Amino acid sequence: MTYDVVLIGGGIAGVTLAWFLKRVGATVLIVQHGRFPCASRIAAGLITPVTGKRFALSWRFQEFWQAAETFYRSCEQSWQTELLQVPRAIRIFQSEEEESRFLSRMSWLSEWEGLSREPIAGFQSPFGYFTMPRGARLNISRYLEESYKRLNIVEAEFDWHQQARATSTGWVLDLPKVGTITTNDLVLCQGDQARLQGPFQKLPFLSAKGEILRLRIPQLVCEKRIIHSGIWLVHDVGEEFLCGSTYEWDQLDSLPTEAGRQKLLEKLQHLLNVPYEIIDHQAGVRPIIDRQRPVMGWHPHFSRLGIFNGLGSKGSLLAPYFAEHFVNRWHQPDTMDPEVNVRRFEL
């Protein structure tokens, strides 16, 4: 089994990189194992242009959005399935002070539709809200499922210390139950697991755990907009909605907690005025490195060992643009955007 590139990790980073590598004719194998947490499987897939307390336009949003929309639409066309929805997104102000802050930023946000004080059925919105025309949602689990059907993928636990051997032309991997694999390039797309083990462990990870609730809200079935208000709420299927998410930096595991659930319920209590039922609760860890900038490129001591990671809380928006960027500069690391090149760190 010989490949041009082996990718470790079958989350949105590994899968999207695989698609761009295939576009330039590379043979690619993804090695992935369900024992390791996969943030992409629980992510809601939201793409949000305006975020945070200061209503800042998300970093290079237009550029990344254009790349993301083009890529996901091309997947939809080839696979004949819907992946990307572009519903309206609204942000309901949580206080008068927040509304005034928004007004003072309006000149920045001139293309947004602006304010409304119209009541919204099912919600408490005494301070009004504004509409962002370009909110979007990627159905990440469907994107992964459809990709797994079409890409070369094996289920195996990868252990950097035991299984990877550098040769003069690349790498030999001895994977239990799979066998020996040779590859020119090995790229680690392990999400937060890279923090715990392996050659990129020294990167300055600031990963954040997040928790999400699945709710049944029969009285909101007609609400198809993405709602932001300290938390977000988005329609999923039937009467079911997803609601998230928390940020927690201390206990970085994928176990749902009572504290996380309470944080979300507290916010929901101020947001909704219709009954709901909790039907599921999940947690995952966002791979955050250095101000949520992605990290990619080649290890300083192993020229054919790469990384594609650090998608933070914006995997759906960032993965297509940066997978393409990495592939276009595969053998010219010096031409890579210095803001995302892994060489900006000491390893």
The residues of the shown chain that bind ligand FAD, judged by CB under 6 A, are 8-14, 31-33, 36, 38-40, 42-46, 157-158, 189-193, 210, 212, 244-245, 284-287, 309, 311-317
Please report how close the Cβ of residue 254 comes to ligand FAD at its closest, in angstroms: 8
Please report how close the Cβ of residue 310 comes to ligand FAD at its closest, in angstroms: 8
Closer Cβ to ligand FAD, 32 or 147, answer by number: 32
Name the residue type at position 161: H
Please report how close the Cβ of residue 158 comes to ligand FAD at its closest, in angstroms: 4
Residue 219 in tokens = 């009285």
Instruction: Output the residue with the shortest Cβ distance to ligand FAD.
Output: 11
Interatomic CA distance for residues 212 and 246, integer angstroms: 7
Interatomic CA distance for residues 91 and 127, integer angstroms: 11
Max CA pair span of the chain:
67
Strand 179-188 to strand 305-309: parallel, antiparallel, or no bridges (unpaired)?
parallel
| Beta carbons of 178 and 156 less than 8 angstroms apart | yes
Q: Using DSSP, state whether 215 is helix, strand or coil.
A: strand
Closer Cβ to ligand FAD, 39 or 340, answer by number: 39
Closer Cβ to ligand FAD, 53 or 161, answer by number: 161
Q: Chain centroid to CA 224: how far?
A: 21
Please report how close the Cβ of residue 100 comes to ligand FAD at its closest, in angstroms: 28
Please report how close the Cβ of residue 96 comes to ligand FAD at its closest, in angstroms: 28
Other Cβ atoms less than 10 A from the Cβ of 58: the count is: 18
Please report how close the Cβ of residue 25 comes to ligand FAD at its closest, in angstroms: 23
Closer Cβ to ligand FAD, 39 or 75, answer by number: 39
Strand 153-155 to strand 50-51: parallel, antiparallel, or no bridges (unpaired)?
unpaired
Please report how close the Cβ of residue 212 comes to ligand FAD at its closest, in angstroms: 5
Closer Cβ to ligand FAD, 185 or 192, answer by number: 192
Please report how close the Cβ of residue 88 comes to ligand FAD at its closest, in angstroms: 16
Strand 240-244 to strand 208-216: parallel, antiparallel, or no bridges (unpaired)?
antiparallel
Closer Cβ to ligand FAD, 99 or 213, answer by number: 213
Q: CB under 8 Å, gap of 24 or more: what pairs does 24-30 form?
A: 24/327, 27/2, 27/3, 27/152, 28/3, 28/4, 28/151, 28/152, 29/1, 29/3, 29/5, 29/152, 29/153, 29/154, 29/181, 29/183, 30/6, 30/151, 30/152, 30/153, 30/154
Closer Cβ to ligand FAD, 127 or 342, answer by number: 342
Interatomic CA distance for residues 107 and 32, integer angstroms: 46
Closer Cβ to ligand FAD, 48 or 125, answer by number: 48
b/e map 286-308, b = 16+ CB within 10 Å: bbbbbebbbbbbbbeeeebbbbb
Q: Using DSSP, state whether 32 is helix, strand or coil.
A: strand
Please report how close the Cβ of residue 118 comes to ligand FAD at its closest, in angstroms: 26
Closer Cβ to ligand FAD, 45 or 170, answer by number: 45
